[in-house]
Amino acid sequence: MEAAVNNMAAAGPGGRPTALAGAGSAATAAALAATLGLAAACWVVSVWQMNGMNMGTATPLGSFGFFIAVWAAMMAAMMLPGAAPATLRRAQAGGVRTVPLFVGSYLALWALAGVLVYVVDRPHGTLVAGVVTIAAGIYEFTPLKRYYRRRCQETTSSGLGFGLCCVGSTVGLTAVLVALGVMGIPWMVMITIIVLAQKLLPPIPAVDTLLALAITGLGVLIVVSPALVPGLAPPM
């Protein structure tokens, strides 16, 4: 009888033992820390791999194996911080054991996007970079962008489904990175900040409109006067 009373006293809300709840919270926190730790490690790897390789719009992609390795590290560095809330929700809904598959399938989808980039991207001029940037800015205005952004903040059923929504949300920004210089660390940092804000913060129409106008304006500036935009040409 005394043991039963002690067990009841140790139980948390809904009769769940406090010790088990604490263990679950600790495991979830560990999964979140591992996700952010992987992102931090990939930032180090990306900066190391990309150092001295940026030639702006004329950047060659190199061999397929080299590019995919760099791309996978870049995407993990850029996209995992914004995926942290979804990873946390996945751990809470399905248990910590579901997190590796969730994160792995999410990153695998971004690696597949890298294959497409390798097929279509070639060293190009500033006109192409400007047109792609203008298109990306226009995409920010579209209902499709708003839909995918909302779904990216809600979806936790699978890493693949989450990844599809996030690719749809950030496809324009990713295209800007590729067009302006896929090995450009400053562009990578700027786009990561925008992606992170769009994944973590609720939409604010005024801010979203200003961002879309800024991206479109950058594209127009690149077309009209590319010399005013740093990092588009190889360093002398």
pTM of the prediction?
0.84
174: nearest Cα among 221, 232, 135, 203: 135
What is the tens place of the pLDDT at every residue in 147-164?
Answer: 999 998 877 778 888 999
- What pLDDT was estimated at residue 163? 92
Query: Looking at residue 24, what is its pLDDT?
Result: 57
For residues 123 and 72, what is the distance between their CA atoms, to the nearest angstrom? Answer: 20
Judged by DSSP in three states, 77 sits in: helix
**How confident is the model at residue 13, as a pLDDT?**
43
pLDDT under 50 in the chain at which residues?
Answer: 1-23
Residue whose entry in the numeric block shows the structure tokens 């973590």: 200
Residue in this structure with the two tokens 């140790």, named with its chain if needed: 10
- Could you give the angle at the alpha carbon of 52 between the alpha carbons of 49 and 55, nearest 5°? 110
Give the per-residue pLDDT at 27.
73
Report the pLDDT value the prediction gives residue 1, as an integer from 0 to 100: 36
Q: Quick one: tokens of 10?
A: 């140790």
The answer to whether the CB of 176 falls within 8 A of the CB of 215 is: yes
The per-residue pLDDT for 21 is: 42
Q: What is the pLDDT of residue 235?
A: 54
